[in-house]
Structure formats: C-alpha cells, structure tokens
Amino acid sequence: MQDFLIIGGGLAGTGAAAKLSELGSVTLLEMEDALGYHASGRSAAMFAETYGPPPVVELSRASAAHHQAQGCLSPRGFMLVGGPQNAEVFAHGLKELDLEPISGAEARDKVPILHPERVTMAGFHAEAQDLDADLLLQGFAKAARANGAVVQTRAPVTAITRTAAGWQVTAGGETYEARQLVNAAGAWADRVAVMAGAAPIGLQPKRRSMARLPAPGGHDVTSWPMIMGAGETWYAKPDAGKLLVSPAEADPVDPHDAYADDMVLAEGLARYEENVTEPVTRVESNWAGLRSFAPDGALLLGPDPAHPGFIWSAGQGGYGVQTSPAAAQLVADLVAGRQTELDAATVTALSPARLR
C-alpha cells in the first residue's frame, strides 16, 4: 500500500512524483517504454511568462525560480510578425502578449530571411527563453527516485477499483494499491477518470505538428528568436542549427500516438514561406504531439470534489512544460492541506471543482 499512485510519466506525473514523494511513498506508472514519450517529449518548449490566460501566467511566474535553479533556461527571445494582410490581428497579439513594437527593418536585422513586403511590423520580447524540457523531466525523476519513489514503465493501466483503503490499479499485468490516486495521464486523463468511477471533465486532445528544416539559405540561425505569425498561424524556432516550423494547428483528435498530417503540415509550411524569402526545399523530419485542453483552457490541478483521494494533474494545453514546477507544487500543497504561494483566485481557477 503506497501513499500515492501516479498514472502518467510526463512532466505532470514526474513533477507530482518529485513533490509528493516528500510527503509519502510514491509509485509512478507510465504505459510507454520511457518517461516523457508523448506531449512532454514533443514540445518546442519556451518560457514566456506572459503567454496564456491569467491562471497560467501565475503558474509560469511561480515556476521561474525552479527553471533557473535547474539550469533549464537559455536566451532566445520571441518575435511576433505581421504586415498589411493581417494588421488588425497583429495589433491584438502585440497587446495580448505585451510585446515591444519594432519595425520590419529591425525584425530583419534579427531574422534576415523575413520578407520585406509581407513583414512590415513586429513585436519583440527579449526575456523569452528556451526551456530544456528533457532536463526538466529528468530533474523531476531524479528528485522523485532520491525520495524513494518507484518509477514503473511499460505499465498501461487496464483497471481501477475503489477500495475501503483507497485504490487498486491493474497495470502491465501487476496490481498496485495506494491511498490516493493522481491522474496525470495527459490526453488519456478523462479515460482514467472514467475507469476510476469519476465523471470526465471534457478534456479535448488537440494535435500540433512540427517539421525540422535545414537552416534556411545556409544562415546561422543560432541567435534567431522564436518567430510567430500574427494570429498564431505558424511559428518557427531554431534548434541545434536547424529550424523547427509548425503549422500551429489545434485540431481535435482522440487520444493516440500522434503523427503529423501531411496536408496540415504542407499548408503550415506554405504560410511560413509567405513570410520569408527562402523557400522550403527539404523537410528533414516531422512529428506531432497532443496538447489537451479543459473546456475553459486552464489546467486541472487538485482533488476531485466528488471523489476524495482522486487528484487531477491534467489539462496542461500548450503550457504544461513552463508551468510544471508550480503545478506540481500546488498539487502537493493541496494534498498536504497547507498554504500555497499562489493567490486564492488562481487556485480556484485551476481547481477541478470549477467544472463540476
């Protein structure tokens, strides 16, 4: 009998394991061969405190110290670009993301391949940083194991039963028991809830695709910022001397091992090409991940009000990497019944109770 049984080995689950293992015994169950196989390992991760709705911003700000202490951040910068064809949408994004306006010429100084006629305005945020998602994940796993947590991969959950003492879970042909159950199953979180006898929240997995391109025109892209088209219709980000380009789609899908849709990827690359002077001549690789959203777009963190001992850590959407330290801390604080550093309004806005 463990104190905590966690389903899901992405950043949500490993973060929860790191923090909950300070409170009691923990076993983490991951259905794949390795931790972080799905969304956590497929993100073009950035840390930008102003990205997302207010509860997400508060979680991101509360996560900054952990990211810095773990050495997960490195300089990058973020730039929004637009032109006459999308001036109104660009103006909205500039305000929403709290960016400093710069001219098209200044934008081309930073990214010389931007098209002079299509990109006539830009907004820039120098403080946005690259975030090493794998380093973050491994740090959580190391901390959890140091506290005695057991991490079990290749353990897909097939049954969950409520018992007098807590929960009994069958996974990978083995039976596990725990007093409290943490649902950190990502795109599968609603399915886990139903298996446990809890009502689903209404989580919707949405696919996002990515292509890796050779450095455009042979440019050194190392110092380029992340670039986003107005309205988030595409984005591009340097990565190990290459350029990652995404259609920035959010297509609703069922939970599965995601892969890029060829047509969606082609359309996104075409939108990117409209804004640059270097054509896409070759795609070196592509992939996709699932970002899962609650109906109101905020995370689900804390106990289910109708099912004591059933704890949500799900619905991270596109914010799961940058918010994971504070999200894990909040889950542990709520379980322990102690004061959290987040304000009461933020805690309420993240509670599963808001959707019940």
Q: For residues 356 and 351, give the distance between their C-alpha atoms in angstroms, rounded to a whole number.
A: 10
- Inform me whether the pLDDT recorded for 308 exceeds 90: no
Q: How many CA atoms, within 13 angstroms, populate the side-chain half-sphere of residue 210?
A: 19
The pLDDT confidence band at residue 324, using thresholds 50, 70 and 90, is very high
Beta bridge partners of 289: 208
> Tokens 């794998």 identify what position?
134
Model confidence over 205-232: pLDDT tens digits?
A: 999 999 999 999 999 999 999 999 999 9
> Tokens 């777009």 identify what position?
297
pTM, entire model: 0.94
pLDDT value for 66 = 98
Helices (H), 21-118: 54-69, 87-96, 104-110
Q: What is the SS3 string spanning 122-166?
A: EEEECCCEEECHHHHHHHHHHHHHHCCCEEECCCCEEEEEECCCC
Q: How many CA atoms, within 13 angstroms, populate the side-chain half-sphere of residue 321?
A: 27
The four Cα atoms 49, 53, 58, 62 give a dihedral, to 10 degrees, of -50
Q: Is 335 in a helix, a strand, or coil? A: helix
Q: For residues 113 and 218, give the distance between their C-alpha atoms in angstroms, rounded to a whole number.
A: 11
pLDDT value for 43 = 84
Q: For residues 20 and 223, give the distance between their C-alpha atoms in angstroms, rounded to a whole number.
A: 39
One DSSP character per residue, 274-324 reads TTBSS------EEEEEEEEE-TTSS-EEEEETTEEEEEEEE--TT-HHHHH
Beta bridge partners of 78: 125, 226
pLDDT value for 44 = 82
Is the distance from CB of 354 to CB of 305 less than 8 angstroms?
Answer: no
pLDDT value for 346 = 98
pLDDT value for 131 = 96
Rounded average pLDDT over 174-191: 98
Name the least confident of 39-53, 61-75, 109-123. Answer: 39-53
Share of the chain above pLDDT 90, in %: 95
Model confidence over 16-28: pLDDT tens digits?
A: 999 999 999 999 9
pLDDT value for 341 = 95
Distances, alpha carbon 242 to alpha carbons 25, 47, 87, in Å: 43, 20, 29
**Cβ neighbour number for residue 174 with a 10 Å cutoff:** 10
Q: For residues 247 and 288, give the distance between their C-alpha atoms in angstroms, rounded to a whole number.
A: 11
pLDDT value for 116 = 96
| Size of the chain, expressed as the number of residues it contains | 356
Is the distance from CB of 340 to CB of 331 less than 8 angstroms?
Answer: no
Rounded average pLDDT over 150-155: 98
- Inform me whether the pLDDT recorded for 50 exceeds 90: no
Q: For residues 124 and 306, give the distance between their C-alpha atoms in angstroms, rounded to a whole number.
A: 45
Model confidence over 243-262: pLDDT tens digits?
A: 999 999 999 999 999 999 99
Q: For residues 318 and 302, give the distance between their C-alpha atoms in angstroms, rounded to a whole number.
A: 19
Rounded (5°) CA angle 259-261-265: 115
- Inform me whether the pLDDT recorded for 142 exceeds 90: yes
**CB crowding 206-234: b at 16 or more within 10 Å, else e:** bbbbbbbbebbeeeebeebbbbbbbbbbb
pLDDT value for 202 = 96
Q: What would the two tokens of residue 318 be?
A: 């596109």
